[in-house]
């Protein structure tokens, strides 16, 4: 019996031939925007990050699956990616926490993987031409030309509202903290603040970080109205990360336009973009996005550089943000794009990256302390607040 083949066909006509792992059933097909992540580890956290909804994820590191799958490391209720692309998938993991191999876990979750391809060549194409639509196909029953044609008719990520696909339909309470991964920060006197979290596709570690700081967290659907938020009388409002085009999440933008700043408000990734849009700023699509755990960011208020975890394909336009009262607080050092802002007169701040950074790095965990500080003071976040939070984290 000949081994099965798997192909990745891109809309530009490029076709990569490799071997399937994970879901290997003949004629299995997956399509989406093909993006790459430069992290050396954290594949399980990436695969379960809802921000990857609608995308085929390629990893630049050579080997994936070395440490298997651990039940504690998932970041959402299920896998998020449409497909997974690696140079080499390891079938026999070495890790005492592992409960499954990467391939078996992907198969159980219905995700096609392809290995044995030149991922360096793939990333060069994506860096040169930008993120492309692609199709993964197991078997030989379709020609390369047919697969390329399938990729070309897939919808573009621009204009897609995917937050509604991953947001919960009902409210719930989150109580789990960081456990053995605790990062000590500032002391906040033991007061429990009530946080309403608009869940647009949140990673679990965001909520763990808030719970670790004593917050009572109510997770709510992303389209909850301003009146329903007010009725809960929160001390703070949080807007999570999530997938798709931020400008298409119109209902959440309308809600934030009405209520953001009435109580201290903090946004991460998609939440950062939605807050900016609600204030009247604009967003735009990056050529190939920022995805990885090694992205350098400068805090413009303190002068410190943070190595951050990022996963986004859209960005806030800095000039339009300044025009509506937003002040940049963080800048991406690779390309100079906006990575965070605060409002000059309202208690609103946000960052484009992931301070929860599961699995790491943890340079930006101080931002959760800043949110707690802002809930206590009910005033805009200051440079002194950020400096104090960074010092507390560094000395922990």
CATH of the domain at 357: 3.40.50.880
Q: Pick the last residue of a domain from 152, 176, 195.
A: 152
Question: pLDDT tens track of the chain, all 396 residues?
Answer: 567 999 999 999 999 999 999 999 999 999 999 999 999 999 999 999 999 999 999 999 999 999 999 998 999 989 999 999 999 999 999 999 999 999 999 999 999 999 999 999 999 999 999 999 999 999 999 999 999 999 999 999 999 999 999 999 999 999 998 876 655 554 455 568 999 999 999 999 999 999 999 999 999 999 999 999 999 999 999 999 999 999 999 999 999 999 999 999 999 999 999 999 999 999 999 999 999 999 999 999 999 999 999 999 999 999 999 999 999 999 999 999 999 999 999 999 999 999 999 888 999 999 999 999 999 999 999 999 999 999 998 887
The tokens describing 201, both together, are: 């596709």
Q: Pick the last residue of a domain from 129, 152, 175.
A: 152
Give the pLDDT score at 396: 72
Domain check: are 304 and 216 in the same one?
yes
CA distance 85 to 101: 16
Give the pLDDT score at 395: 84
Q: Is residue 363 part of a domain?
A: yes
Q: Which of 11, 75, 212, 356 is catalytic?
A: 356
Domain check: are 267 and 309 in the same one?
yes
Q: Is residue 157 part of a domain?
A: no
Give the pLDDT score at 346: 96
Q: Is residue 339 part of a domain?
A: yes
Domain check: are 192 and 340 in the same one?
yes
CATH of the domain at 71: 3.50.30.20
Residue position matching structure tokens 């949080």 = 238
Q: Which of 269, 306, 312, 318 is catalytic?
A: 269
Domain check: are 220 and 179 in the same one?
yes
Cis peptide before 246 (omega within 30 of 0): no
Q: Is residue 233 part of a domain?
A: yes
Q: Is residue 1 part of a domain?
A: no
Give the pLDDT score at 3: 74
- The verdict on whether 146 is a catalytic residue reads no
Domain check: are 148 and 169 in the same one?
no
Neighbours of 211 (CB within 10 A): 18
Q: What is the dihedral of CA 150, 11, 5, 84, to 10 degrees?
A: -100
Give the pLDDT score at 360: 86
Domain check: are 112 and 241 in the same one?
no
Q: Is residue 132 part of a domain?
A: yes
Q: Pick the last residue of a domain from 152, 175, 207.
A: 152
For the chain, how many structural domains are there in total? 2
Domain check: are 148 and 168 in the same one?
no
Domain check: are 97 and 204 in the same one?
no
Domain check: are 100 and 228 in the same one?
no
Half-sphere exposure of residue 194: CA atoms within 13 angstroms, side-chain side: 10
Q: Is residue 249 part of a domain?
A: yes
Q: Is residue 158 part of a domain?
A: no
| Cα dist from 245 to 290, 311, 347, whole Å | 15, 13, 25
Domain check: are 168 and 306 in the same one?
yes
- The verdict on whether 356 is a catalytic residue reads yes
Domain that holds residue 58: 6-152
Domain check: are 222 and 366 in the same one?
yes
Domain check: are 130 and 184 in the same one?
no
């Amino acid at each position: 019996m000949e081994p099965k083949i798997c192909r990745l066909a891109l809309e530009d006509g490029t076709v990569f031939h490799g071997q399937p792992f994970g879901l290997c059933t003949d004629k299995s097909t997956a399509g989406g925007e093909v993006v790459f992540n430069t992290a050396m580890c954290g594949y399980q956290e990436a695969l379960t990050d809802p921000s990857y909804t609608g995308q085929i994820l390629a990893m630049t590191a050579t080997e994936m699956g070395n440490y298997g799958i651990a039940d504690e490391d998932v970041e959402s209720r299920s896998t998020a990616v449409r497909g997974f692309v690696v140079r080499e998938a390891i079938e026999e993991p070495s890790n005492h926490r592992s409960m499954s191999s990467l391939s078996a876990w992907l198969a159980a979750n219905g995700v096609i993987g392809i290995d044995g391809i030149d991922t360096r060549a793939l990333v060069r194409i994506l860096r040169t031409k930008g993120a492309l639509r692609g199709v993964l196909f197991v078997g030989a029953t379709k020609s390369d030309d047919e697969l390329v044609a399938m990729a070309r008719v897939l919808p573009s990520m621009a204009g897609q509202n995917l937050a509604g696909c991953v947001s919960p339909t009902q409210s719930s309470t989150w109580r789990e903290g960081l456990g053995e991964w605790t990062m000590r920060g500032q002391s906040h006197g033991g007061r429990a603040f009530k946080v309403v979290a608009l869940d647009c596709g949140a990673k679990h570690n965001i909520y763990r970080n808030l719970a670790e700081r004593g917050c009572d967290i109510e997770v709510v659907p992303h389209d909850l109205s301003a009146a329903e938020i007010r009725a809960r009388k929160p001390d703070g409002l949080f807007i999570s990360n999530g997938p798709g085009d931020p400008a298409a999440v119109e209902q959440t933008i309308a809600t934030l336009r009405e209520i953001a700043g009435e109580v201290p408000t903090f946004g991460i990734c998609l939440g950062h973009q939605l807050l900016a849009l609600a204030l009247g700023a604009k967003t735009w699509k990056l050529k190939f996005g920022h995805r990885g755990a090694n992205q350098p960011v400068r805090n413009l208020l303190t002068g410190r550089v943070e190595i951050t975890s990022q996963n986004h394909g859209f960005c806030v336009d800095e000039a339009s943000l300044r025009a509506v009262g937003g002040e940049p607080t963080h800048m991406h050092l690779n390309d100079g794009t906006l990575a965070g802002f605060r409002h000059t007169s309202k208690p609103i701040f946000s960052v484009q990256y992931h301070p929860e950074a599961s699995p790491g790095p943890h340079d930006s965990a101080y931002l959760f302390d800043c949110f707690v500080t802002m809930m206590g003071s009910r005033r805009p976040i200051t440079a002194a607040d950020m400096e104090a939070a960074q010092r507390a984290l560094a000395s922990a």
